[in-house]
Chains A and B, each alone.
Chain A
Amino acid sequence: MPPTGIAIQAEALHKHFGKTQALCGLSISVAEGTILGLLGPNGAGKTTAVRILTTLLRPDSGQARVAGLDVVRDADRVRSLIGLAGQYAAVDEYLTGRENLEMFGRLYHLPAGEARRRADRLLEQFDLTEAAARPVKTYSGGMRRRLDLAASLVISPPVLFLDEPTTGLDPRGRLAMWDIIARLVASGTTVLLTTQYLDEADRLADQIAVVDHGKVIASGTADELKAQVGGERLELTVARGGDLDAALQAVSRYGTGEPKVDRALRHIVLPVTSGAQRLPDMVRDLDAAGVRLDDLALRHPTLDDVFLALTGHAAEAEDGEQPASRRGRRQREVA
């Protein structure tokens, strides 16, 4: 490790496939022992970035260093310091869980006995001991994913790359995976995590880099990113037949900015500060004005808001669609 304490560094990475520009100057930096969440929709270039950083692809231009080593010139040494797990659960279907882990241990060049002991230990840690002697094709999705992650930890790599580790998992499987990842980082591993789930980045990542069209369009902590789209806000919906203007008048003095009013939906969004302390007053004033409400909420911006504000389209939209049609669909949903 270099004394800088930077475990992963990419500078101005470019990569194209045919006419598709997958990366257009992507730069990231991950401090040792932290998680960077690479957040973006399908096709944003997240997987390409991971494939370059894990030596699977050469960049067209730009530089990347992992654990202080150049991923192109020192590819062999980089490979002995990293683990890679991903959405495709790259384990052998026909081998058992134990056979898989032992095989990967041998391929990381551990002695046979050590590979066996390590496999047993990982099976235990990932709650797979009972299934250890069964072929992987009998495993559930969550079990496969745990085995895949275990396989990337055979040598306890200081740097771990997780490419959409929870895509396709059920909620319970996701929570279990989050728990494992959080514990790995607590024990000192540096993690680069790609995800298209905003709550996942929010929950796990120390730093988030938002990627769209092959480059980082914003980065910071989850809170810093949320601050970019504004602070908390009061959202209320007036009941059918209720007095929207009276409601607006009642709460406007609490606002720190211009309220946004949607008359068709009888909806008001008002930027506020110290909302929790002032909420009782707001409710009293609304009540005094005789406004009947369908809904009242104090909302903090989510990463969904961040993504929408930064890119003009939602984060979890399907790959290959034009932004215009995405907006069209959103409008139809609203209407």
Chain B
Amino acid sequence: MSAHLETGAEQRPLRRGRLQWALADAWVLARRNLLHIPRVPELLVFSTIQPIMFVLLFRYVFGGAIRGTGTSYVNFLMAGIFVQTVAFGSVITGIGLAEDLQRGIVDRFRSLPMSHSAVLTGRTIADLVRNMFTVAVMLAVGLLVGFRPHGSVLGWIGAVGILLLISFSFSWIAAVVGLSVRSVEAAQSAGFIWLFPLTFASSAFVPTSTMPGWLQAFADHQPITLAVNAERALLLGLPVGSNGWQAVAWCAGILAVFVPLAVSLYRRVAARS
């Protein structure tokens, strides 16, 4: 160790506008979270194995008994799998934030002259990238078990767009959960618990037409069903109808509520008193 610690003002911070800094800081933190992926490969492996299990379970166990899908069951199934994968994958956003809070690194971030929203946008963007990787793996698995999509190029672009929107908006819900419960275990349980009814009481795995009326009323209007219907139509080259804009509207609504909520929670959050 050198004998002298320099403390001169030789470090000159850059000058930029507020929005530019918000983006630059978010990029620094997105990079941080992306670096975690190769360092903690278990996380990626397990978050990929789970949806693969769902594909195999529904394709080979339940699929044969499900009627009225209008196409082969595997073609019906994969849109549901994609949406479920990104919705479940978004829970990691909340777990990661809760971990940062527990470890105290959020205290350091909050004591830095950086943008308040960057810790959250950095993480949601990194989780978006990770989710897209998992979806690519799911697509390959789907093709292996007989999935034969025939959407147009525009349809594919739209299909990817829907998944990006669901992934990003659900990540912000998970961020609010993680910042509220402040512990990794609770963020995991609280993050999944509401997703189960939402993904299963939807058109992800079965047509909603066989559900009882009251449930159908819920299922047909909730964001997972709308996103799955739009995704399915885009992948299979069918008419999207009103599902597309309704799914987009849901995501926009979720972001409009949960982004400001998460940022305000983050500003006030204290892991320890």
- Chain A residues proximal to chain B, CB less than 8 Å: 17, 20, 22, 47-48, 51, 54-57, 76-77, 79-80, 82, 84, 86, 88-95, 99, 103-104, 106-111, 114, 118, 121, 124-127, 135, 151-156, 180, 183-184, 187-189
Decide: B36 and A76 in contact? CB cutoff 8 A.
Answer: no
Q: Which residue of A lies closest to B40 (CB)?
A: A94
For B7, B12, B31, B270, the residue with the greatest tally of chain A CB atoms inside 10 Å of its CB is: B7
Decide: A126 and B1 in contact? CB cutoff 8 A.
Answer: yes
Q: How long is the Cα–Cα vector from A20 to B273 in the complex, in angstroms?
A: 10
Q: Which residue of B lies closest to A183 (CB)?
A: B5
Decide: B110 and A55 in contact? CB cutoff 8 A.
Answer: yes
Whether a CB of chain A sits under 8 angstroms from the CB of B231 is no
Instruction: List residues of chain A with CB within 8 A of the CB of B11.
Output: 108, 110, 114, 118, 154-156
Whether a CB of chain A sits under 8 angstroms from the CB of B242 is no
Whether a CB of chain A sits under 8 angstroms from the CB of B2 is yes
Instruction: List residues of chain B with CB within 8 A of the CB of A89.
Output: 104
Q: Which residue of B lies closest to A163 (CB)?
A: B107
A77-B113, A107-B109, A109-B21 known; 19 new pairs, CB 8 Å cut-off, are A48-B273, A55-B110, A55-B111, A56-B107, A56-B111, A79-B112, A88-B107, A90-B108, A91-B108, A99-B35, A108-B11, A108-B13, A110-B12, A125-B1, A127-B1, A156-B10, A156-B11, A183-B4, A187-B4
Instruction: List residues of chain A with CB within 8 A of the CB of B114.
Output: 107-109
Q: How long is the Cα–Cα vector from A104 to B103 in the complex, in angstroms?
A: 16
> Which one of A84, A91, A109 contacts B14 once the chains associate, using CB atoms below 8 Å?
A109
- Knowing A103-B28, A111-B14, the reply to whether A156 touches B7 (Cβ < 8 A) is yes
- Chain B residues proximal to chain A, CB less than 8 Å: 1-14, 16, 21, 24-25, 28-29, 31-32, 35-36, 39-40, 103-114, 118, 270, 272-273
Instruction: List residues of chain B with CB within 8 A of the CB of A153.
Output: 5, 7
Instruction: List residues of chain A with CB within 8 A of the CB of B113.
Output: 76-77, 79-80, 108-109
Q: List the 5 closest A-B pairs by CB distance, nearest first.
A: A88-B104, A80-B113, A90-B108, A90-B104, A109-B13
Q: Which residue of B lies closest to A126 (CB)?
A: B1
Decide: B28 and A106 in contact? CB cutoff 8 A.
Answer: yes
> Which one of A76, A92, A187 contacts B105 once the chains associate, using CB atoms below 8 Å?
A92
Q: How long is the Cα–Cα vector from A88 to B108 in the complex, in angstroms?
A: 10
Decide: A187 and B5 in contact? CB cutoff 8 A.
Answer: yes
Shortest C-beta distance, A302 to chain B (Å), equals 30
Q: Which residue of A lies closest to B104 (CB)?
A: A88
